[in-house]
Amino acid sequence: MEIRVEGLTKHYVAEGRTVKALDRVDLTIPANRIFTLLGPSGCGKTTLLRCIVGLETPDDGEIRIGDEVVWSRARGIAVPTEKRGLGMVFQTYAIWPHMSVFDNVAYPLQVRGVERATIGKKVAAALHFVQLDGLDRRSATRLSGGQQQRVALARALVAEPKVILFDEPLSNLDAKLREETRKELKRFLGELDITAVYVTHDRVEALALSDSIAVMRAGSIVEIGSPQKIYFHADHRFVADFIGRANLIPVTVRGSSGEFTVVDSALGRFACAPRDLAPGSAATLCLRPEFLHLHEGAAIPDHNGVTGRIESLAFVGEVYEAEIRVADLLLLARTGPDTQLREGDTVSFTVTPEHCLLVSA
């Protein structure tokens, strides 16, 4: 089911100060996809999710789930949460420790007054789906963190919602389990015809899990796109910076040369992936560390070649991260684990124009 949000506004008043948590948000969340709201702490992700769920009352705007308007100030509509046909999974697993796995998962059906035999079948199907067969009589607390999160997912799915909402569901798991559970979740959701709205501030989680990502800042949506679009072809400096490690260099646009946009910067001249920018205008050059190809010695004078000195070299597992000093700038580059480079070495790097991304100033 598609979700449409129009002109959604929400303020909070706390300690005499007014905070604009949502600032006239317009958004269409496509049906049967995993759609992620990503952004720094306090940007309004949870508020937007809670407005969709009906746990928060907006000040203005409209929310539609499928064909139904579930909230509208102008039309005086406010459908209660339990009538919106949603499933929810939150950061704290929110499973009840004193209850068995079965009773936890059965709860949404029991409150709807579903008959016992049907509850039994639906709970068994939900537990089978999340691969917890045979654990139905176990106390919910005698499960691992990952299993508890799967119980929460089974409970959210048991009433067969058309939309499921997740608020940072993996943030209480350790790094390895988080990665495993994320993969499982993607597989589970891929097997269902369900619209998933996922809130996180973890960019790797957003990239790995989502079909589409909306990046938020200060109550507004800055940019929406596929993980690849957001990572490789962002339009905004804020988005390019938030979604991954980035060297961001102020530039002035000179014009175009063949298929490339040419810019000048403190690092010299760069031929960049084409962008429709007026000569003389200011922009930002985004160079991802993985695309800086390091060589020993000075660069051959050319577009897109820069010479500097390795100020630090840190082994971080699969790669070395090198900080390269070029005049006032310190640039981050990655180089393979078999590198012969050392701190203090003079190095040069080149970046192909396709990997020179121009974003807003």
| Residue 80: CB minimum distance to ligand ATP, A | 19
Which residue, 136 or 167, has its beta carbon nearer to ligand ATP?
167
| Residue 161: CB minimum distance to ligand ATP, A | 22
Q: In the beta sheet, which residues pair with residue 69?
A: 64
| Residue 53: CB minimum distance to ligand ATP, A | 12
| Residue 222: CB minimum distance to ligand ATP, A | 13
Which residue, 45 or 64, has its beta carbon nearer to ligand ATP?
45
| Residue 29: CB minimum distance to ligand ATP, A | 16
Say if residues 331 and 323 touch (Cβ distance below 8 Å): yes
Q: Please identify which residue in the block is written with the tokens 């040069």.
A: 348
Which residue, 19 or 114, has its beta carbon nearer to ligand ATP?
19
Written as one string, the DSSP assignment of 88-139 is EE-SS----TTSBHHHHHHHHHHHTT--HHHHHHHHHHHHHHTT-TT-TTSB
| Residue 11: CB minimum distance to ligand ATP, A | 9
Say if residues 252 and 264 touch (Cβ distance below 8 Å): yes
Q: Is 157 helix (H, G, I), strand (E, B) or coil?
A: helix
Q: Which among 342, 354, 360 has a CA at the least distance from the CA of 215?
A: 360
Written as one string, the DSSP assignment of 219-288 is TEEEEEE-HHHHHHS-SSHHHHHHHS--EEEEEEEEEEETTEEEEEETTEEEEES-----TT-EEEEEE-
| Residue 174: CB minimum distance to ligand ATP, A | 19
d(CA 212, CA 209): 9
Which residue, 13 or 327, has its beta carbon nearer to ligand ATP?
13
Written as one string, the DSSP assignment of 308-353 is EEEEEEEE-SSSEEEEEEETTEEEEEEE-TT----TT-EEEEE--G
Which residue, 40 or 255, has its beta carbon nearer to ligand ATP?
40
| Residue 214: CB minimum distance to ligand ATP, A | 12
Neighbours of 329 (CB within 10 A): 14
Longest dimension (CA), the chain: 78
| Residue 168: CB minimum distance to ligand ATP, A | 7
Which residue, 217 or 355, has its beta carbon nearer to ligand ATP?
217
d(CA 274, CA 328): 27
Q: Which residues of the shown chain bind ligand ATP in the complex (CB under 6 A)? A: 12, 14, 19, 21, 39, 41-47, 201
d(CA 191, CA 127): 15
Which residue, 43 or 130, has its beta carbon nearer to ligand ATP?
43
Amino acid identity at 4: R
